[in-house]
Chain A
């Protein structure tokens, strides 16, 4: 899989930013990489009394690719919501890029979110907007000057391979193309963390693999990827780090593992 390299070296506006300087990316191959996500003794109890997470400890180094697996209701979505600061932990600490999310002020939350690209099973595209406008929307609503939007959108559409479909509506696209539109939108802010919540849940196996390939490419660009999934075939085939949740606890955390426990 070829790396996406900057079209114009030194320019950040027209290219996908590589988050780490080269020296750190090399260091990233060693065991003492900087931790990007840190959860320490995290518990989450919702207002209705439901306990979603119990005493979760998790460290994800920058540039890692992690599968988050477990049955429905195990706490995967809650964990994701803590990371995007949609919810606060009831106990423990959640650190993102060394920042304690509990201490982030409300008005600084959007800045954190722009470092995170996120896609869902249901794509969450705006049906009345074209592919291009759906992607551009993420820039428009964060105050990007108009003349910078077009080149940035073209760049990410090239990355996900949707240049020819740019002017089509989501309803005119296949499921895989819709998910790639959502991925393009999530990439347009040059995120350092990419979260995919069941990205292949609505897609057939072949298309699922295309999406996974895309996520691997994004990871190769230096972006930390966290993918919550039920897709056992994909997880087992890729032999990445697997974090398994059950009933709000981490029951397994293995590198190079399969979807199911193998001992």
Chain B
């Protein structure tokens, strides 16, 4: 077994360098694919984190008219609680709103005190099960013209972000599949050339009674090697761009706490490694199966 692994690794290493140009080309496309993959993962992770952040923290807020009858407000609150999209409804009175404001902004307390009356409206704060249900709830609230003054429009951005995320996800996956297939074909071709280069050795191996494992596995290892090197280069690249990327992300998503955290970094590294080696092995396996079928 040890002899087998040693032999296969040695042969894979030789094979990789014997046809260095082809191996490097395969590796370069592999890196391209993996960079695309990790870019997509990071982008979507950032967007999802943002959407979750917005979804969790910022509810739909409906500001009440000062003239709103208490009974109507209660009716609206009850109706909202009945809606399946809604998880929680909280009524914030004018007094409560003022207290909250004073607590949040103690420096402006004097300003408020100088006003003749409380300028802050009462409001309903609504938590949604899913931010994409925002419109249903907002439309319902806008229809309650007796009591509702305005509905905070901020969360239209949530809808836009979800749309962007979906487009990115779909588009990214399509592009990724195409690039993946390209890489697969390039690896298959690389390994096919490696098999052709060893045609004479393979003939001799068959004659002297080498088992199929000894004939095939070195090529599988060679494919895995292309994947492994591609993955390591990609991880190194990601490492280098990590800091500027984090800055860019936090700028792009503004105040939101988005970071290419250590955890995300480790997950992405594992995904890159797994995908690289996986495609390398798959490509060489398919190649060996079709060119060494006897």
Binding site for B on A (CB under 8 A): 84, 86, 106-107, 110-114, 116, 118, 124, 126, 137-138, 140-146, 185-186, 189
Contacts and interface: CB of A to CB of B under 8 A. Distances in A.
A116 B215 CA distance: 19
B203 A142 contact: no
A84 B200 contact: no
Interface string B80-109: 000000000000000000000000000000
A143 B214 contact: yes
Contacts of A138: 204, 208
A134 to B, nearest CB: 9
A112 B211 contact: no
A86 B206 CA distance: 9
A126 B209 contact: no
Contact of A126 (B2, B6, B201, B210): B201
B153 interface: no
Contacts of A113: 206-209
B200 A126 contact: yes
Given A126-B200, A126-B201, A146-B3, A141 B214 contact: yes
A110 B200 contact: no
Contacts of B203: 124
A142 B210 contact: yes
The 3 A-B residue pairs with the shortest CB-CB distance, nearest first, are: A113-B209, A114-B209, A141-B210
A155 to B, nearest CB: 16
Contacts of A145: 2-3
Nearest to A111: B209
A143 B208 contact: no
Interface string B1-20: 01110110000000000000
A107 B203 CA distance: 16
Contacts of A111: 209
Contact of A141 (B2, B200, B205): B205
Contact of B200 (A107, A112, A124, A143): A124
Contact of B204 (A86, A110, A124, A146): A124
B209 A142 contact: yes
A243 to B, nearest CB: 22
| Residue among A138, A143, A186 facing the most chain B CB atoms (10 A cut-off) | A143
A84 B214 contact: no
